[in-house]
Amino acid sequence: MHELALMVEVCHLAAAAAAAEGAQTIHRLHLRIGAQAGVDANALRAAFAVVSSDPTWSSTLLQLDVVPTRCFCSNCAHAFHPDDVIHACPDCGALSSPLLAGRELELVALEVS
């Protein structure tokens, strides 16, 4: 539900970075969003559609990569992709495995000119 606020922040960060580079145009915004980050990729795309009605962003392409959840089981000493919200280890059933990936909320890069 806060995807619009996040996208406004993305545009703020991107505009500042582009200005620091002396760039005039932002061609591409590359974001990485973890599956556990509490945001919905489709809602982010919808939010970008709203934000990009501003002429500054009208020619900018949004590249959105969703990072799947990956956990680590300390009993079995191996990483796994959980298939439910409980994140139980598929081999030993242990709970509370720390997340290795899936919490990302990152502006990775811009393509500018």
Partner 1 sequence: MCGHCGCSQTVAPRLVELHTGLLSRNQQQAERNRAHFQAHGLLVVNLLSAPGSGKTAVLERLAGLWRQPPIGVIVGDLATDNDARRLQAAGARAQQIRTGDLCHLDADLVDEAFAQLDHHNLNLLVIENVGNLVCPAAFDLGEQLRLAVLSVTEGEDKPLKYPALFRSADAVLINKLDVADAVGFQRSAALNHLQAIAPQARLFELSARTGQGFDALIAWLEEQHPLAAQHGQRR
Phi, psi of 64 (to 5 degrees): -120, 110
Through-space distance between the first and last CA atoms of the chain, rounded to whole angstroms: 33
Nearest distance from residue 24's CB to partner 1, in Å?
3
Q: Is 105 in the site for partner 1 (CB under 8 A)?
A: yes
Q: Is 81 in the site for partner 1 (CB under 8 A)?
A: no
The H or E element containing residue 29 is: strand 26-34
Encoded one letter per residue, x for contact with partner 1 by CB under 8 A and - for no contact, window 24-63 reads xx-xx--x----xxxx------------------------
Enter the tokens of residue 64. 């959105």
Site size toward partner 1 (CB under 8 A) is 34
Task: Say if strands 61-67 and 26-34 run parallel, antiparallel, or are unpaired.
Answer: parallel
What is the side-by-side strand order in the sheet with 99-101? Answer: 78-80, 70-73, 99-101
- Taking CB under 8 A as the criterion, the residue among 47, 71, 73, 88 binding partner 1 is 88
Enter the tokens of residue 24. 């005039």
Nearest distance from residue 79's CB to partner 1, in Å?
18
- Taking CB under 8 A as the criterion, the residue among 6, 47, 62, 71 binding partner 1 is 6
Task: Decide if 1 contacts 90 (C-beta within 8 A).
Answer: no
Binding site residues, partner 1, CB under 8 A: 1-2, 5-6, 9-10, 13, 17-18, 21, 23-25, 27-28, 31, 36-39, 85-86, 88, 95-96, 105-113
